[in-house]
A and B are shown apart, each in its own frame.
Chain A
Amino acid sequence: MKAYIMKRLLSIIPVLLIVAVIVFFIIHLIPGDPASVILGEEATPEEVQTLREELGFNLPIYEQFVHWFAGIFQGNFGSSIYMNMPVLDAFLGHVGPTLSLALLAQSISIIIAIPLGVIAAKRRGTYVDQLFMIIAMLGLSIPSFLLALLLMLFFGVNLQWLPVAGYSPVSSGLWNHLQFMILPAISLGAIQAAVISRMTRSSMIDILNMNYIKTAKAKGVKNSVVVYKHALRNAFIPILTILGETFGALITGAVVTETVFNLPGIGQLVINAIVRRDYAVIQGTILMIAFSYLILNLIIDLLYGLVDPRVRLNRK
């Protein structure tokens, strides 16, 4: 097991190297110039050129690359020229809202989706099943920004139960934090729930048709034990895959939701950095996103083994 984890961790390094090279060159190939963004609309070309030189953007691109790349190995991801702070600090400053949103949205989606999926599978072909799946289809088809705006109008503007937008960290009090997170988490979670419930349903249907389930039922095992213990556990591997994928997507920044609800998370950080052509931030953040994605995949793979011992044996 340990050797396996080590091997997986080591394999992350070449992937990150490739990501680093690609990101750097793509970002620098896009036209646009941080100096003219900083100096504003009415700056003269002369002023822009002066600032470019002071910021070191007049150096040949390979020199800039070597400089940046060498820095990474010393744990230095460079500095944001727009925010005047190290990239690592900028990243850590924005990671809180994104992680919190991802966790809450994922929890909401699991709480809704798994029971829905299981019930739909159990009552396959009935009205309940069809109703649930229609709801799931609706969830899949609603664009996240629309759901977000509707929730905001209803709960924020009309009822005024929750703030419309903004963010407050956990350290300012749990409720203070949660009141800003509820609407974004619901708007994201509802959409994820649609995906997960469909996967749960189809996976459960497969399992419920297996012979061992029939045997268990024939032996007189209680129906709920059959469904929730014997069937759900075995149906869980594909569900876990989907959970991993959706969580990965959430953690790498739910850009639209973050923008609409004005959460200063990773998605906003990347978008703002692109608009500002803040090269170091774009590069650093994308590297870190790639890293967390890889780690998350590793964790999901290890969880397979926890859920299903057969997977563990196969790996030896």
Chain B
Amino acid sequence: MHFKKHSSLLALFLLAVTLLIMGCSSENATTDVDEADNTADSASGGILKVAYPTQPQTLDPHATTAEATRDASKLIYEALVTLDNNYEVMPQLAESYTVSDDRKTVTFKLRDGVKFHNGNDMTAEDVIASMEKWGANKAELGEHTWTKVDDTTVELALSEPSSLIMYFLADQGNIAAIMPKDIVSSAGATGVDEYIGTGPFEFVEWKQDEVIHFKKFEGYQPDTDPADGLGGKKEALVDAIEWQFVPDSSTRVNGLMSGQYQFAHMLSYDSIPQLENSKGSVVEVWPYGIEGLIFNKKQGVFKDVKVRQAVNYALDMEVIMSSAFASDEFYSLDNSLFLPSQKAWYTDAGKELYNQKDLGKAKELLKEAGYNGEEVVILTSRDYEHHYNAAIATQQQLEQLGMKTKLDVYDWPTLLERRNNPEAYDLFYTGFSTTATPNQYVFLDSQTAWPGWSENADIDRLLNEIKLEENPDEALALTAELQKVMWEYLPIISTGQNSRVSGYSEKLEGYKTMLGPVFWNVSLNK
């Protein structure tokens, strides 16, 4: 009898805890109802559910180069100019622009009738405030000022001529988003706290570590030019996007196969066969950029260019790339810094130095350099399996070359800190998403002081010449020269180009990837 009484006490306690849970989650209740109403009103395009691996810190693209920010914020924000299918600059919020003959002034004519998500018109003041915030910490811009000419015209004046300025403005790593002036002026150290842009989707709500809700921006004024790359006519064809954070890769695959998500970003290379065998899913392999082995050139054995060259002579790129990216569907042995589709910059200069597999020559160089069994510390992390596997394959090849090696495995944030310390390592692996110009690769320029500490007068000079060069053909020739110097000086070794993999439902129509997923002009069939 007694026991029964007490078990009802226990039940009471459990009930109290349940009520507590309900209390904790009730704050979400109102927003859920609102959403349901919204979609009921215009239920035609459906809700697109995206499974994305990581949550960004902010949706303010000015504040970070993180891809998680870039991919989500692209829905909300637009810049004056963007990139077309060939990664060339095209106008977006600007109707047109003219670069002066001395390449020190750019005049933008703003598009008429562009509205922010808060209903206000985009003005020259908004553009100037946004661009001043975006450019505040950007060394590559040099000294510059933005001025208003009239209500629909703004002017950018540079202290030094630049042929690359338009590429910087169209860059997707750090989108030069236009936001309302009052929001820009209240921004804190880690970005704005209200997300209002001019893009085809507007920000609705962010549930931390769970989901970001976007909905179609009804007041959107598409560009009248045909869609091209990231520009031209953009239309929100779905009513809303649920951007869910799903850190586990197999959960993203399973959710895609079960139809819970219509899009799953960044799938592991091993899961592709599973997805290919299941009905209703499409595998999207999209070119990403280069996989790079970065040498510490400030201190240790790799300070000597001959030792770096010895490593380059020895490496078998096929082995490294296949252990990192599983199948040659996902990588190509291409020594270029740029993707073949980037016509303005693509060159195979330096090819003869890539993928030599010449152990004899390598050992000779190592001997010449006076290598004496010093330990090579390889910094790596299991947080990114492909970087880790590339490091393991490299370690074996260095051992074969007769170098003594040690693998230091940390979590990624620790690696990010340790790579800043020249005493802590000799080499590490990381990937570089392709950039709009050679000048945006952080590992080339000596001024960036980026980990690895590149210090080469020829590279610096060539980067500067590319920046000043007016003629695109000449710029490409200079890039070829730059790439050749790079393969001799070896600030990094690019082990090859690689692709990333996403998957999406057959119901998704018009989907494409360009520097991350693109969800405008995409519709959802029932």
Interface residues, chain A, with chain B CB atoms under 8 Å away: 30-33, 36-48, 50-51, 54-55, 81-85, 90, 92-96, 99-100, 103, 149, 152-153, 156-157, 160, 163-167, 169-172, 229, 233, 259-262, 264, 268-269, 272, 274-277, 299, 303, 306-307
**Which residues of chain B come closer than 8 Å to A93, judged between CB atoms?**
24, 207-208
**Which residues of chain A come closer than 8 Å to B209, judged between CB atoms?**
83, 94, 264, 268-269, 272
Q: How far is the CA of A55 from the CA of B189 in the complex (A)?
A: 7
B interface residues, tally (CB under 8 Å): 66
Is B98 on the interface with A (CB-CB < 8 A)?
no
Residue pair B254, A156 in contact (C-beta under 8 Å): yes
Residue pair B254, A152 in contact (C-beta under 8 Å): yes
Contact of A170 among B21, B208, B210, B255 (CB under 8 A): B21
**Which residues of chain B come closer than 8 Å to A163, judged between CB atoms?**
258, 260
Residue pair B251, A260 in contact (C-beta under 8 Å): yes
Q: A41-B430, A307-B6 are in contact. Are A259 and B247 (CB under 8 A)?
A: yes
- Chain A nearest CB: distance from B241 CB in Å? 15
Majority-rule SS of A interface residues: helix
Residue pair B9, A306 in contact (C-beta under 8 Å): yes
Residue pair B29, A164 in contact (C-beta under 8 Å): no
CB contact list, B9-30 vs A, under 8 A: 9-10, 13-14, 17-18, 20-22, 24-26, 28-29
A/B interface sample: 26 pairs, CB < 8 A: A32-B416, A41-B430, A44-B449, A45-B449, A82-B57, A83-B57, A83-B208, A85-B208, A90-B208, A93-B24, A93-B207, A93-B208, A94-B209, A103-B18, A156-B260, A163-B260, A166-B255, A171-B22, A171-B28, A171-B29, A172-B29, A260-B250, A262-B244, A262-B251, A264-B209, A264-B210
Residue pair B210, A32 in contact (C-beta under 8 Å): no
Is B64 on the interface with A (CB-CB < 8 A)?
yes
Q: How far is the CA of A55 from the CA of B63 in the complex (A)?
A: 14
Q: A41-B65, A42-B442, A169-B29 are in contact. Are A261 and B251 (CB under 8 A)?
A: yes
Closest to A33 in B: B417
Interface residues, chain B, with chain A CB atoms under 8 Å away: 3, 6, 9-10, 13-14, 17-18, 20-22, 24-26, 28-29, 32, 55, 57-58, 63-67, 69, 137, 139, 173, 189-190, 193, 207-210, 244-248, 250-251, 254-255, 257-260, 383, 410-414, 416-418, 420, 430, 432, 442, 448-451
What 8 A-B pairs are tightest by C-beta distance, nearest first? A169-B25, A32-B413, A40-B65, A40-B66, A54-B189, A171-B29, A96-B25, A164-B255
**Which residues of chain B come closer than 8 Å to A268, judged between CB atoms?**
209, 247
Closest to A263 in B: B210
Q: How far is the CA of A94 from the CA of B24 in the complex (A)?
A: 9
Closest to A34 in B: B413
Q: How far is the CA of A24 from the CA of B63 in the complex (A)?
A: 28
